[in-house]
Structure 1
Amino acid sequence: MGGNALVLRDIHLLPAPPWWPPAPGWWLLAAVLLALVVAVAWLRQRRRRQRQAITELFDRSVDAAGSPAAQVAAMSELLRRAARRRDAGADRLQGEAWLAFLDAQSPSRRGAVASDDFSRGHGRLLLDGGYRRDVAAADVQALRTMVRARFLQWMGAK
C-alpha cells in the first residue's frame, strides 16, 4: 500500500434537539388551547350567572306579591312575558287557548307522554286564581313549581 492512505474517522451525529424551549408552533398551539379553555370557562360562568339572575327574578317577583292570589297574578304575568319568546302573539291568548299553548310547549309533548298539567291540573289556577278572594297556599305552591319550570325553560335558563 502506498503512502497516500486516507485516514477515516467515525461519523459523529449532531446532538438531538433539546425539548425545551419548544418550537414556535408548539407555543402557538399552547396559546390557542389556553384561549379556548378561558373562553369556554368564561361562557359557562356567564351562562350560570344568567340562569341565576333569571331564577332570582322569578322568585323575587312572586315573593314580592303579598297574597296567594297576587302570587298567581305575578306568575301569570311572568309566564306571559316569557311566552313571547316562543310566539310573538302568545301573551294575548286567553282562557283554554292559553292553557293549551302552555301544554303544547311542554318538553314531554315531544315524547310519548302527553302533558296536560296546565289545562287539567293546577295550571287551571292561571285562568282565575289572580282574581279569587281565597286561594289555597298548597295550590299556589304546586302552580309555582310548574310555572317556574316553564318560565326558566322559555327564558333559556334550563
Structure 2
Amino acid sequence: MTSPLEGSLLLPALPPPISWWPPAPGWIALAAILVLLLVLTPLALILNRRRQRRRLKAQRILWEIPENLSDHDWLAALNTQLKRHLKSRGEIAATRLYGNSWVDYLCQHYPRPRADLLAPLGGTLYQADVQLSVADRRTLQRELLRWIRHNHV
C-alpha cells in the first residue's frame, strides 16, 4: 500500500546519457599513435627497401668483376669500378686519387679501417708483377664490402 505522502514524492531525474564525444585523452593519444604508425610504417618500408636496393647495387660493383682476370687486371677493374661509382655520386675528387692517397681516402670513410688489407689497391696496383693469392682476393673483397656497407655507396 502506498501512502498519499509517498505518492506525492517526485522520483529523481535520470542523469543525461554519457556522450561518446569528446573521447578521453587516452583514446585521443591512442588514435594519434595508430595514425602515426599507419603513416610511418609504409614510409619506413619504402626507405628500407630503397636503402637495400642501393646497397645491393653497390655490392654488384665487386660481383661484376670476373674472377678469371689476372691479378693486375683484377685490381685495376676494382679501382675503376669504385671510382666510377664514386664519380656517379658526385665525389669527383676521389677519382683523381691513386696510390697511398687513394687507400687513405678509403680508410678515412669508415671506422676501424684496415689499410693493410686495402694496400693492394694503392701501391701494389702499379707494380709490374702483382701476385695475389685467392685468400688475398677474398680478404680484399670482404674489406671492400665492409667499406661499401658503411658508406652506403
Q: Same fold (TM over 0.5)?
A: yes
Q: Distance in 2 between matches of 1:89 and 1:104?
A: 14
Unpaired runs of at least 5, structure 2 = 1-7, 22-27
With over 3 angstroms needed to count, the CA separation of the structure-2 counterparts of 1:142 and 1:149, relative to structure 1, is same
What per-residue deviation string (whole Å, max 9, x for no partner) do you get for residues 32-87 of structure 1?
A: 541222222222233223323322x1242224663343322222122223444584
SS across alignment from 2:45: helix
TM-score (norm 1): 0.63
Gaps of 5+ in 1: 1-5, 20-24, 109-114
Output the amino acid matched with 2:94: A
Please give the residue correspondences for 1:49-128 in structure 2 after superposition, counting only pairs within 5 Å.
49-55=53-59, 57-63=60-66, 66-84=69-87, 85=89, 87-108=91-112, 115=113, 117-118=114-115, 121-126=116-121, 127-128=123-124
Cα distance between partner residues in 1 of 2:9 and 2:100: 105
- Specify the alignment match of 1:45 in structure 2: 49
CA contact (8 A) 2:76 2:125 kept: yes
Match of 1:11 among 10, 13, 18: 13
Q: Give the residue type in structure 2 aligned to 1:36.
A: L
Q: How many residues align?
A: 138
Q: Which amino acid aligns with 1:139?
A: D
Q: Distance in 2 between matches of 1:42 and 1:103?
A: 31
Shift in alpha-carbon separation, 1:153–1:79, aligned structure 2, 3 A: farther
Moved over 6 A (4+): none
Residues 45, 76 of structure 1: CA spacing in aligned structure 2 closer, same or farther, 3 A cutoff? same
Q: CA deviation at 1:142?
A: 1.6
Counterpart secondary structure, 1:62: coil
CA displacement at 1:89 relative to structure 2:
0.9
Q: Over the residues paired in the alignment, what is the CA RMSD in angstroms?
A: 3.6
Residue equivalent to 1:111: none
Give CA-to-partner distance per residue, 1:113-153, whole Å, 9 cap, x none: xx4x33xx132211344764643222222211122222333
- TM-score normalised to the size of structure 2? 0.65
